[in-house]
């Protein structure tokens, strides 16, 4: 078991990795991916750059790990969808499940993606594409549906990102963003022909 000592406190390697991801996400969101250095991350954590590199070889590897977390969440959602009976309200239940499971970290990850499109495109080109994860869920829920219904379903899963973008400069907090996304999800999924 790997441990890192900071200020007399000892953490396991998994805890240190999780803390690195949490701090890096906050810094990437605040300063931008390009403007955040590994030194910034290690200093914010109170660890050496060597200790940081023990867990992640580069800033890109940290960003990849953050995207992998979102992809795992989408895989879990798809697994849940697969266990549900194919009722007419399944799309709405699945989209609401996604919206209502939004955490502060997911909101930060959405902000990171919105503000750092070149990084997100590079990660997508390397096979780490969150959109493709959504595509699998939407395909499962709308297989054989007309294109407008598939688009509405896709939009229902994008409501948090859309509400977050709309809230920029508006003064809405995370709870208000989630509530707006929930309402939009209900409205969008109600329009899909069952």
- Establish how many alpha carbons lie within 13 A of residue 167's alpha carbon, considering only the half-sphere containing its beta carbon: 21
Q: Which domain holds residue 78?
A: 61-190
Task: Please determine, for residue 5, whether its predicted confidence score (pLDDT) is greater than 90.
Answer: no
**Residue 106 domain-assigned (yes or no):** yes
Q: Residue 25 belongs to a domain with what CATH number?
A: 1.10.10.60
In 3D space, the residue among 178, 29, 166 whose CA is nearest the CA of residue 103 turns out to be 178
Query: What is the pLDDT, as a whole number, of residue 9?
Result: 61
Task: Encode pLDDT of 99-139 as tens digits.
Answer: 999 988 888 888 888 888 888 899 899 988 888 888 999 99
**Residue 69 domain-assigned (yes or no):** yes
Least confident residue range of 11-15, 31-35, 136-140, 143-147: 11-15
How many helices (H) and strands (E) in the chain?
Answer: 11, 2
Task: Encode pLDDT of 55-87 as tens digits.
Answer: 999 999 999 999 999 999 999 999 999 999 999
**Please, is 166 exposed, middle or buried when counting C-beta atoms within 10 Å of its C-beta (0-12, 13-18, 19+)?**
middle
Task: Please determine, for residue 1, whether its predicted confidence score (pLDDT) is greater than 60.
Answer: no
* Average pLDDT over all residues of the chain: 89
- Specify the higher pLDDT residue, 13 or 60: 60
CB distance 21 to 14 below 8 Å: no
| Contacts with 116 (C-beta within 8 Å, 6 or more apart), sequence order | 28, 32, 33, 34
Question: How many residues are recorded in the chain?
Answer: 194
Could you give the number of structural domains in the chain?
2
Question: Do 68 and 47 share a structural domain?
Answer: no
**Residue 2 domain-assigned (yes or no):** no
29 falls in which pLDDT band (50, 70, 90)?
confident
Question: Do 177 and 84 share a structural domain?
Answer: yes
For residues 85, 91, 96, 102, the Cα torsion angle rounded to the nearest 10 degrees is: 100
CA distance to 20, 77, 144, 174, 187, per residue, from 96 (Å): 30, 11, 22, 16, 11
């Amino acid at each position: 078991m790997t441990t890192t000592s900071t200020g007399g406190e000892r953490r396991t390697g998994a805890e240190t990795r999780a803390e690195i991801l949490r701090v890096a996400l906050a810094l990437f969101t605040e300063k931008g991916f390009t403007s955040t250095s590994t030194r910034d991350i290690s200093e914010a954590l109170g660890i050496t750059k060597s200790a940081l590199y023990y867990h992640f070889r580069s800033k890109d590897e940290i960003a990849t790990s953050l995207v992998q977390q979102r992809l795992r969440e989408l895989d879990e959602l798809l697994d849940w969808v697969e266990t549900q009976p194919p009722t007419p309200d399944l799309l709405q239940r699945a989209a609401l499940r996604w919206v209502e499971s939004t955490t502060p970290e997911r909101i930060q990850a959405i902000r990171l993606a919105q503000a750092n499109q070149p990084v997100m495109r590079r990660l997508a080109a390397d096979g780490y594409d969150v959109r493709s994860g959504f595509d699998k869920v939407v395909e499962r829920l709308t297989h054989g549906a007309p294109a407008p219904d598939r688009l509405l379903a896709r939009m229902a899963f994008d409501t948090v990102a859309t509400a977050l973008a709309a809230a920029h400069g508006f003064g809405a907090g995370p709870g208000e963003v989630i509530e707006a996304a929930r309402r939009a999800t209900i409205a969008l999924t109600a329009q899909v022909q069952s």
